[in-house]
Amino acid sequence: MSFSSDVKKELAQAVCEDPYDCASEIAAFILFGGEIRKNEMGTPTPVFHTENELIADRFRKLAAMLGIDIVVTDFPHSYVVADESMGIALLRTCGFMDNLGRIVDEEDIFNNHLLQINSCQRAFLRGAFLASGSVTDPNKNYHFEITCDNETVAALLRQQMEYFGLDAKIVRRKKYYVVYMKEGAMISDILAVMSGHISKLNFENIRIYKDVRNVINRRVNCETANINKTVSASRKQIEDIQYIQKTIGFGRLPEPLREVACARLEDPSASLKELGQNLDHPVGKSGVNHRLRKLSQMAQEIRDKQRI
């Protein structure tokens, strides 16, 4: 199974015993993965669509916690309330219908009393993800998203996430709006918010492994770059020294420069510190570097004169 499937499997088994939490999660199921359908008499009925049996089973169990029976209709993967009066009761409990029997706007659903309770907000986010969310395998990259039917619902969902300190973004994808996060720490946090604690641990283990691997790779790359830089500098120094030796010879060099020139030819791979330590009169890195720069300048002056 995919990482996203594993997360949904865990969330579908999360404990939810409080009636308000159950109603909040059911509300998310309907809002993000269902619809409110009217029968021939015009009576509204909540419907939930899913092809995932685990999620369908959770929808039935949550409804049963509220004393409501769910049945499968003749339309594939659609789950509806068995009794009209129960359907209306569920719509009212979930905040989809007011006391006058009118279906409310999305804003009112988000602003109802259910979503003013911390545990209900967590249940709502869990239901939204189960109904219409996905999370990418962290071994590949970090991406968490929930698809919404319209921009209003997307903005309100983002507000719910912000309550938990989660900074989500919204993007339009064809006719849908997607609320998403790409930061690993945020994704780890929302998994915990939705009660996906095992998934969070698995996610964090992968994050830690990737972070350590990236640190090692950066260090190796840095050391490799330094080695390449040192080798390149050494090669240029040797070319300049050999050019001086071939043109004017070492006899015309001051003793400090001649000593460093000979040391570099004898040990092309030595660092500046090692070169300085190997001299008859040891000097530090800056002293060696100064003398090698003088040799390079001298070689360039000789080349310039040769061109003239």
Using CA atoms of 78, 84, 89, 93 in order, give the dihedral in degrees to the nearest 10.
20
| Environment class of 253 (CB within 10 Å of its CB; exposed 0-12, middle 13-18, buried 19+) | buried
Using CA atoms of 206, 207, 212, 215 in order, give the dihedral in degrees to the nearest 10.
140
Task: Look up residue 288 and give its two tokens.
Answer: 């060696």
Which residue, 298, 280, 198, is CA-closest to 241?
A: 298
CATH 3.10.28.10 domain span(s) along the chain: 3-195
Q: How far apart are the first and last CA of the chain?
A: 75
Length of the chain: 308
Q: What is the pLDDT of residue 277?
A: 87
- DSSP per residue over the chain, as a string? --HHHHHHHHHTT----SHHHHHHHHHHHHHHHEEEEE-TT--EEEEEE-S-HHHHHHHHHHHHHTT--EEE-SSTTEEEESSHHHHHHHHHHTTSB-TTSPBPPHHHHHHSGGGGSHHHHHHHHHHHHHHHEEE--TTT---EEEEESSHHHHHHHHHHHHHTT---EEEEETTEEEEEE--HHHHHHHHHHTT-HHHHHHHHHHHHHHHHHHHHHHHHHHHHHHHHHHHHHHHHHHHHHHHHHHHT-GGGS-HHHHHHHHHHHH-TT--HHHHHHHSSS---HHHHHHHHHHHHHHHHHHHHHHH-
Q: What is the pLDDT of residue 251?
A: 83
Q: What is the C-alpha separation between 145 and 103, in angstroms, rounded?
A: 27
Task: Look up residue 65 and give its two tokens.
Answer: 């916690």
Contact 66, 90 (CB under 8 A): yes
Contact 145, 134 (CB under 8 A): yes
Q: What is the pLDDT of residue 144?
A: 97
Tens-level pLDDT at each residue, the chain (308 residues): 799 999 999 999 999 989 999 999 999 999 999 888 877 777 888 889 988 889 999 999 999 999 888 876 655 678 888 788 888 888 888 888 887 778 888 777 887 777 888 999 999 999 999 999 999 999 999 999 999 999 999 999 999 999 999 999 999 999 999 999 999 999 999 999 999 999 999 999 998 888 888 888 888 888 778 777 877 888 888 888 898 888 888 888 888 888 888 888 888 888 888 888 888 888 888 888 898 888 888 888 888 877 65
Q: Which residues pair with residue 170 across a beta bridge?
A: 179
Yes or no: is domain 3-195 CATH 3.40.50.150? no
Give the C-alpha distances (Å, rounded to integers) separating 157 from 5, 22, 50, 146, 151: 22, 18, 20, 9, 10
